A = this chain, B = another copy of it.
Amino acid sequence: MSPRQRDVTDLVSRAIAGETRSIARLISLVESESGQLREVSELLTGHLGKAHTIGLTGSPGVGKSTTTSALVTELRARGKTVAVLAVDPSSPFSGGALLGDRIRMQEHTTDPNVYIRSMASRGHLGGLSWATPHAVHVLDAAGFDVILIETVGVGQSEIEISELADTSLVILAPGMGDGIQAAKAGILEIGDVFCVNKSDRDGAETTRRQLRNGLSMTARADNWKPPIEMTVATDGLGIDKIADRIDEHYAHLLDSGGLQSRRVARAAREIQAIAIAEIMRGIDVSAGTLMQSLATKVTAGQLDPFAAADAVLDHVR
């Protein structure tokens, strides 16, 4: 065992023991996409699957961070330890977008049983960071009862979050045309629990009705009927009901076998993503110049891209 390996083994042990600084360092390590990710993943095996992962999504302005913060308060009151992973799917060039949200979470920063972390990056393949599932694994192994994965609800990223979560909470607010937006973004299919926040405002009832109509026309593979709750997160109103509905959904997942099938599907996606990343690394490392010359030929109309792909695959294999 090399000194570096011993360091990683030690770091993982400390993170599993729940030591905050080691958790932070380990997430930074998996975020850096270092060669040690494989080693970390190996060391975490056997320590996973205990946390209830909950995805929170919503368009900008629905009060997502306030709701997350209120939910943390409620879950803590119920005796649960909570980790929050705030994922920003925006461009890497425009970092710091989640700063305002972090400030809203400040009341929890002195609670040793709450861990808050932002990740601001987009992934290789044009989606969420490749590191996000690995960060979730670290938090899971560290023993948090609940992991809240929060993201700005922009198109694809909320679908990806729902694939990482056991339970997906979708937050809407009145007067944002969200009834229509819900249908467009496909969130009707991914939400397990819906929350109409800012429900003291005009139009909350309309938003709920539109949502209920939309849900009644949406086919689900399981037999869960997604509930809708009204909240005013700034005052903590309705947040207890959200926590109840989330618990009920988890109980339903356990009873129906849905938890196991969701998690197996998630593992399959993760294995696939790793396999693809391995192949892409192979292309970058050994076929970089080849790719450039093939792409130039394709651009000049001398080669079709399928034949070019064959050449790349032959080279990598």
B267 close to A295 (CB less than 8 A): yes
| Selected contact of A156 from candidates B155, B185, B260, B294, CB within 8 Å | B155
| A44, B292: Cα distance in complex, Å | 21
A160 close to B41 (CB less than 8 A): no
B156 close to A304 (CB less than 8 A): no
The interface residues of chain A, by DSSP majority, are classed as helix
B305 close to A155 (CB less than 8 A): no
B299 close to A271 (CB less than 8 A): no
Contact with B along A256-296 (1 / 0, CB 8 A): 00001001111110111011101110010000000110111
Contact with B along A146-178 (1 / 0, CB 8 A): 000000101111011000000000000000010
A301 close to B60 (CB less than 8 A): no
B264 close to A275 (CB less than 8 A): no
A237 to chain B minimum Cβ distance, whole angstroms, is: 25
Q: Which residues of B contact A61 (CB under 8 A)?
A: 177
A276 close to B274 (CB less than 8 A): no
Is A94 at the interface (CB under 8 A from chain B)?
yes
B312 close to A271 (CB less than 8 A): yes
User: This chain: how many copies in the complex?
Assistant: 2
Q: Given A90-B184, A279-B313, are A271 and B41 also a contact pair (CB < 8 Å)?
A: no
Is A106 at the interface (CB under 8 A from chain B)?
no
Q: Given A152-B184, A303-B45, are A268 and B280 also a contact pair (CB < 8 Å)?
A: no
| A97, B184: Cα distance in complex, Å | 6
Binds B, one of A64-72, A121-129, A227-235: A121-129
Q: Which residues of B contact A278 (CB under 8 A)?
A: 309, 313
Contact with B along A218-250 (1 / 0, CB 8 A): 110000000000000000000000000000000
Among all A-B residue pairs, the 6 with the closest Cβ atoms: A91-B186, A154-B155, A274-B309, A268-B295, A267-B295, A267-B298
Q: Which residues of A contact B (CB under 8 A)?
A: 37-38, 41-42, 44-49, 60-61, 88-91, 93-94, 97, 122, 125-127, 152, 154-157, 159-160, 177, 180-181, 183-186, 188-189, 218-219, 260, 263-268, 270-272, 274-276, 278-280, 283, 291-292, 294-296, 298-299, 301-309, 312-313, 316-317
